[in-house]
Amino acid sequence: MYNVINSERIPVKLWLDDLEGKAMEQALNLAKLPFAFHHVAIMPDGHCGYGMPIGGVLATFDVVIPNAVGVDIGCGMRAVRTSIKEYDAERLKKVKALIQERIPVGFNHHKDKQTWDKFQDAPELNIVQQELQSAQYQLGTLGGGNHFMEIQADLNGHVWLMLHSGSRNFGLKIANYYHNIAKDRCTRWYSEIPDPDLAFLPKDTPEYAEYMDAMLYALEFAEESRARMMIAMISAVTDVFPTAMFDDPIDVHHNYARYEHHFGKNVIVHRKGATSAQEDELGIIPGSQGTASYIVRGLGNPESFMSCSHGAGRCMGRKEAQRTLNLANEIKRLDDAGVIHDICTTQDLDEAAGSYKDIDAVMAHQTDLVRVVEVLKPLAVIKAKTKTNQ
């Protein structure tokens, strides 16, 4: 259940016991916005972001806020269950090595241009067009930051494949470009917003239409990219397990805005680090590196705008994690769990499990939002050795 924080305009509903100070300030700023609708919802993985907390859900009347979507537009998850139930560490290491050979991570891109029909259909917007050349080498690549690929096992012994990735430079460039335009417009209009990082674009402006077109294109790119990486992961598995079969994939976005109907009104729902959880809708809630992930079904709770968390949520920043976490302890955590990994330096600590909230506590706070379908334990994890999040 949620806790209610009253503000001078609309309430904030929190699916967690406590939200750290800066993130709470951001949530209350959202509630002050004159176009914010009904209430602000903060998921149990909520923490500080730019302008709006990550893990936040905001409904608005006829405006879009670029920073309420975020800089990695279309970031999301893809997961596939396999028929494999008999495996050993050596074969899993072979699969992991093949995946690493076939899918570039971090700053690495494909050496050859990737073909995709929708490159020809890209919006005629400068910010999109200028990224098309590099995007043809980035399609189907992982990126860095908190993006990952994992081999997992459910409680019935089936092996799963999972990955987390976004729209690479498309999302970052689109978000920054239109946020700067929104800031300029809000300054010109003397808009009363509590934080310039919540600058907005009204529906009746050309820039609103441009942003929405660019955002939708980034969503398509991100989903296609995840699909191609999953194909590569599946090919690595079949090279080692030739008789393996695979279920249909589950794919979800967690950084986007779209029109939805809530509490009798058509509104623009912004989900920033939050996932749609409509009734019976399949979703993916990943843990942190080395902890459990969850396949869930939404319960369609209207109080969360039919949303749930997108993961565990950070409890400390990347630099703080590198400064304060103990490398040996984090390696031991993974080794004790039998997870095949590449953690070896203090720079790898920025995404260690110790820098994230307890995923089990996060799940306990959203039993009214989702029903757990599968619990997935990690067997092997693949991440970039750089700190970029393109």
> Which residues are identified as catalytic?
310
Q: How far apart are the first and last CA of the chain?
A: 35
Q: Retrieve residue 371's tokens.
A: 């029903």
| β-bridge partners, 14 | 3, 42
* β 36-47/12-14 pair status: parallel
The residue assigned the tokens 């209009």 is 189
Q: Which residues contact 343 (CB under 8 A, 6 or more apart)?
A: 289, 327, 330, 331, 334, 349, 352
The burial class, CB within 10 Å (0-12 / 13-18 / 19+), for 358 is: middle
CA dihedral 320, 326, 328, 330 (to 10 degrees): -60
Nearest to 295 by CA among 270, 277, 271: 277
The residue assigned the tokens 């893990």 is 55
CA–CA distance, 390 with 386 (Å, rounded to integer)? 11
Nearest to 317 by CA among 12, 15, 23, 18: 23
